[in-house]
A = this chain, B = another copy of it.
Amino acid sequence: MLGVREGNIVTVSLERLIASLVAPSNEHADEARVYQGQLAKPVGSLGRLESLGSHLCGIYRVVPPPPMSAAVAIFAADHGVVKEDVSAWPAEVTTQMVATIASGGAAVSVLAQAAGATLRVVDVGVMSSLSTTGAGVDVRRVRAGTANLVREPAMSIEEAEAAMSVGADIALELIATGANVLVGGEMGIGNTTSAAALISSICEVEPALVAGRGAGIDDETHRHKVSVIHDAIARCGQPDDPVELLAEIGGLEIAALVGFYIAAAAMRVPVVIDGVVCVAAALLANEIDPIVSRYFVAGHRSQEPGASVGLGHLRLRPLLDLELRLGEATGAVLALPMVDAAGRVLREMATFAAASVSGPDERQ
Contacts and interface: CB of A to CB of B under 8 A. Distances in A.
A136 interface: no
Nearest to A326: B45
A109 B340 CA distance: 14
A338 interface: yes
A88 interface: yes
A160 B206 CA distance: 60
Interface in A319-357: 319-326, 330, 334, 337-338, 340-341, 344-345, 348-350, 354-357
A99 interface: yes
Contacts of A1: none
A96 B359 CA distance: 11
Nearest to A43: B216
A48 B323 contact: yes
A100 interface: yes
Interface in A287-302: none
Contacts of A47: 303, 322-325
B357 A96 contact: yes
A106 B337 contact: no
A88 B360 contact: yes
A358 interface: yes
Interface residues of A, number: 67
State the majority secondary structure of interface residues on A: loop
A18 to B, nearest CB: 33
B107 A361 contact: no
A105 interface: yes
A360 B323 CA distance: 21
B46 A114 contact: no
A312 interface: no
Contacts of A323: 47-48
A111 interface: yes
A110 B42 contact: no
A106 to B, nearest CB: 6
B350 A106 contact: yes
Given A88-B360, A96-B357, A337-B337, A349 B45 contact: no
Contacts of A109: 348
A216 B344 contact: no
Nearest to A340: B114
26 contacts: A40-B107, A41-B106, A41-B326, A42-B88, A42-B216, A43-B216, A45-B216, A45-B324, A45-B325, A46-B107, A47-B324, A49-B334, A90-B361, A93-B357, A100-B357, A103-B355, A104-B348, A105-B354, A110-B345, A111-B344, A114-B344, A215-B360, A221-B364, A320-B320, A322-B338, A334-B338
Given A42-B88, A48-B323, 12 more contacts: A40-B97, A42-B326, A43-B216, A46-B330, A47-B324, A49-B324, A87-B361, A93-B357, A106-B349, A113-B344, A114-B341, A217-B364
